[in-house]
Amino acid sequence: MAKYIVEFIGTFFLVFTVGMTVIGAGAGVIPPLAIGSALMVMIYAGGHISGGHYNPAVTLAVWIRGRCSTVDAIAYWVAQVLAGLAAAYVVLYMRKQPTVTAMNPDLARALIAEALFTFALAYVVLNVATAKGTAGNSNYGLAIGFTVLTGAFAVGDISGGAFNPAVAVGITAMGLSAVKNIWIYLVADLAGGAAAGLVFRLLNPDDK
């Protein structure tokens, strides 16, 4: 049970940071820095208990890689999505039900941006936090957080820079992304996570 609670807490604070900084600061330097940092510190805080996924796409990658049971993967997904929704409603309360404008991303470009950087995120997670060759390193949280920061800077203006279906659920509930567009994140992010898991297995056939 502890690992599911940790996944809820970590995902909650990640999505909460997304909402509070995007609505409060808008586009610019602050949101990517805050979001990448939030992910980093939550990974260091809970990684030893749950693995610090905080992202259904990462959980999918770890499951494909063979380091997460099917039961845990499903339970993680439930905890992550519920955390994303809970964080969204807390943000709306904290920001006094703000008036926001939903993104209207270009479909093809948003799909590519989300898939590429979700792949990068999950690929980094698998290699720095689950691979035998990097076992025991103390830099895994920094590497993972900076991957999200890099993606947010690089393509945040194209797709919103979710790279995480739980974040997508959260920003949709906040009104930052239209309901009709949620499938973009679900498809692209889960595809990116799945691809990372398959590539890891291909490149590391002996790392079980």
Domain ranges for the chain: 2-203
pLDDT of 26 reads 67
pTM, to two decimals: 0.96
- Label residue 87 exposed, middle or buried (CB < 10 Å: 0-12, 13-18, 19+): buried
Q: For residue 144, what is the enclosing H or E element? A: helix 140-159
pLDDT digits (tens, 9 = 90+) for 109-167: 999 999 999 999 999 999 999 999 999 999 999 999 999 999 999 999 999 999 999 99
Residues 6+ apart with CB under 8 A from 37: 145, 149
Q: How many residues does the chain have?
A: 208
Gap between the terminal Cα atoms of the chain: 25
Rounded mean pLDDT, 13-27: 89
Report which residue type is found at 28. Answer: G
Task: Return d(Cα 8, Cα 61) in angstroms, integer.
Answer: 18
Full DSSP string of 60-128: HHHHHHTSS-HHHHHHHHHHHHHHHHHHHHHHHHHTTS-----B---HHHHHHHHHHHHHHHHHHHHHH
Tokens of 151: 């993606």
Tell whether domain 2-203 is in CATH 3.40.50.1220: no
> Rounded distance, CA 58 to CA 196, Å?
9
